[in-house]
Amino acid sequence: EKAGYEHFMLKEINEQPRSVHDTFSGKLSELDGSVNLNELHLSNEEIRNIERIDIIACGTSLNAGLVGKYLFENLAGIHTDVDIGSEFRYSNPIMNEDILSIAITQSGETADTLAAIRSCRSYDCNTIAITNVVGSSITRDANSVLYTRAGPEIGVAATKTFTAQLTMLYILAIKFARAKGTMDINHAKDLLVNLKRIPGQIQKILNHRDEIRECAEMFAQEKDYFFVGRHLNYPIALEGALKLKEISYIHAEGFAGGELKHGPLALIEDGTPVVAIATKGHVYEKILSNIKEIKAREARVIAVANVDDTEIEKYVDWVLRVPATDELLSPLLSTVVLQLLAYYTALARGCSIDKPKNLAKSVTVE
């Protein structure tokens, strides 16, 4: 059932061209820049009346939510908060019926996320669940259910469900943006065309996995690993660190590049591996200056950069390449590189990849 792969995690990483495709399939009309989301029980008028979005999730799904914040704010102009399920349920949230809460949960069974979304309903908020499991508990608690079509995920580390969640967030953000008139038709068309190209681009990354494996093996015996990114790549840095720590047991932390000098630089020393997500976009120069700060401490930098970026090689020790896409969509590609980096690191360390110690696939208790 692992289809010839040594681990479910590797199989699931390799399924992403299909799972991303299946998640958007039938929903994108690039001819008129619209998306069809019949499962969404919100009229355009209701969308225009959304005062704020509150995304609630845990773990990897929370990292997807953090990407979602940038999408809803940048594309649809809707202020978006992202809350950890276990914190939200014991907070005293300021909620009302014009706030839309979106639960993101692959399993649909995470106890803290379920409790948080139930509390949103008690404030009469409209609720959306993004989940991968048909008929899971969350589907009974939300007004609308948007299914990701990743197929069953067996490996404890979330991989294909994460990129499927991101895919659904792009679709939803474009839907909101078009309903609100904050995104012109040509921009929407371009984004949809580029989204359709993502599965093929993920396949290109998968085809070059030996380069990522070589890099992973170089650094596999390190004690600490840092990940930095800015803007949309900041949550991807968090996700890269989470994937690495959970399956390889290496201490890993993700930071927003601008935060380095507010503390983390103290930990960066001679030889420390630092992964910098440096794909092209409006913060490219900013992450380059962060890379220079890191190099000044003699750390070793692994950059995730675009295929055609020849400049980056001057500043870093290792480059892992991703195809160029719209900067908003680049998390869908950079993530795959970081999943493979974590996988091959854990493999080199002989870890129990599909069932890491102390972790369960779905956390149904608080």
**Distance in Å, CB of 63 to ligand F6R, minimum:** 8
Is residue 356 involved in binding ligand F6R (CB under 6 A)?
no
Number of residues in contact with ligand F6R, rule: CB under 6 A?
15
**Distance in Å, CB of 363 to ligand F6R, minimum:** 5
Contacts (CB under 6 A) with ligand F6R, residues 122-161: 157-158
Q: What is the phi/psi pair of residue 237, to 5°?
A: -65, -40
Axis-axis angle for helices 233-248, 59-76 (nearest 10): 170
Contacts (CB under 6 A) with ligand F6R, residues 232-271: 242, 246
* CB closer to ligand F6R out of 136 and 272: 136
Of 53-61, 71-79, 116-124, 255-263: span binding ligand F6R (CB under 6 A): 53-61
Contact between 157 and 10 under an 8 Å Cβ cutoff? The reply is no
Among 16, 101, 106, 127, binds ligand F6R (CB under 6 A): 106
* CB closer to ligand F6R out of 119 and 306: 119
Among 34, 60, 148, 290, binds ligand F6R (CB under 6 A): 60
Produce one character per residue of 279-296: b if its CB has 16 or more CB atoms within 10 Å, e if not: bebebbeebbebbeebbe
Of 34-42, 58-66, 289-297, 322-330: span binding ligand F6R (CB under 6 A): 58-66
Q: What is the phi/psi pair of residue 202, to 5°?
A: -60, -40
Is residue 58 involved in binding ligand F6R (CB under 6 A)?
yes
Axis-axis angle for helices 160-180, 16-24 (nearest 10): 30
* CB closer to ligand F6R out of 55 and 157: 157
Q: What is the phi/psi pair of residue 72, to 5°?
A: -65, -35
- Give me the residue whose beta carbon is nearest to ligand F6R: 59
Contacts (CB under 6 A) with ligand F6R, residues 329-348: none
CA-wise closest residue to 158 among 365, 362, 302 = 362
d(CA 101, CA 111): 16
**Distance in Å, CB of 51 to ligand F6R, minimum:** 26
d(CA 319, CA 306): 9
**Distance in Å, CB of 128 to ligand F6R, minimum:** 14
For 298, left (φ over 0), alpha (ψ -120 to 50), or beta? left
Handedness of CA 293, 295, 298, 304 (dihedral sign): positive
Is residue 102 involved in binding ligand F6R (CB under 6 A)?
no
Of 28-36, 56-64, 178-186, 251-259: span binding ligand F6R (CB under 6 A): 56-64
Among 105, 137, 144, 335, binds ligand F6R (CB under 6 A): 105
* CB closer to ligand F6R out of 245 and 295: 245
Give me the residues that bind ligand F6R (CB under 6 A), please. Answer: 58-61, 105-107, 110, 113, 157-158, 242, 246, 362-363
